[in-house]
Amino acid sequence: MRLSGRAFVILLAIAGLVIVAATDQILPATSDRQAQLRIWLAARAAGITTYLLLTLQVVIGLVLSHPTNQTTWRLSKRLFPWHENAWVFVLAFLAAHIVAIVGDPYAGVGIGGAILPGLSSYRSPAVALGTLSLYALLITGLTARYARRLPNGLWLKVHRFSLVVFILAWTHGVLSGTDTPTLTVMYAASGLIVALAAAYRYWIVRRPRQTPAGRPETPVTVEARTR
């Protein structure tokens, strides 16, 4: 089932409440330093949650598109709703992340830095990668969601760039966060999982198979069968 617009707004509100509670912003700040950090913590909490949800979505997408899934695993019926609705959750927490980082007067990002690469005064290249990942996510997600309104097969060609979205998001998180040393294990593990899943997915596609006549198929033939 697809989440409606109303359900998305409710989800976004819940995400905001969770972030507020998780970053201890309910009670008044006890110091100026704590007041400065609260919005930043909310932005980081939303950003990390977005990243982990994106990791899950990409891995599920690799499983769904795997050639073996069409013949042996047959997990599409179970996993596709998770893959589709995970995108909505990603958008909800991403929106909370952007709002929080723009609303933080000490972050140095601002509205311009959030929507235009290079305008952030804080770690401009790293924030620019985050902005690019946002647009790439919207393009790959919206073309898939409205695939029937596009030329046949176009959404799939665009959707194959989802790994680029993850790479941009991963690099953005590593380079932009002051807490990256603390989160090294998370970034290393998630990056490794996606890399292994992608390698296994595309290695299977490119590996020659035997035809009934005993001749190995070319990678082009195998790729065509997965489309």
Domain assignment of residue 186, yes or no: no
pTM: 0.79
Residue 18 confidence (pLDDT) above 50 = yes
| Mean per-residue pLDDT, 203-209 | 62
Domain assignment of residue 57, yes or no: yes
For the chain, what is the domain count?
1
Give the chain's end-to-end CA distance (angstroms, integer).
Answer: 24
DSSP structural state of residue 29: P
Please write the tens of the pLDDT for every residue from 146-165: 998 999 889 989 998 999 99
Q: Which of 125, 122, 103 is nearest to 178 (CA)?
A: 122
Domain assignment of residue 33, yes or no: yes
Domain assignment of residue 95, yes or no: yes
Q: Which of 106, 94, 90 is nearest to 40 (CA)?
A: 106
Domain assignment of residue 150, yes or no: yes
Q: Which residues pair with 210 in a beta bridge?
A: 216
Please write the tens of the pLDDT for every residue from 76-125: 888 988 898 888 889 888 998 998 899 888 889 999 999 999 999 999 99
List, in sequence order, the alpha helices (H) in 66-123: 67-68, 76-103, 110-115
Q: What is the percent of the chain where pLDDT is above 90?
A: 44
| Mean per-residue pLDDT, 5-29 | 67
Domain assignment of residue 146, yes or no: yes
Domain that holds residue 118: 5-179
Domain assignment of residue 205, yes or no: no
pLDDT at 61: 94
At residue 222 the predicted structure's pLDDT band, cuts being 50, 70 and 90, is very low
Q: Which of 96, 107, 90 is nearest to 40 (CA)?
A: 107
Domain assignment of residue 221, yes or no: no
Average pLDDT, the chain: 83
Residue 52 confidence (pLDDT) above 70 = yes
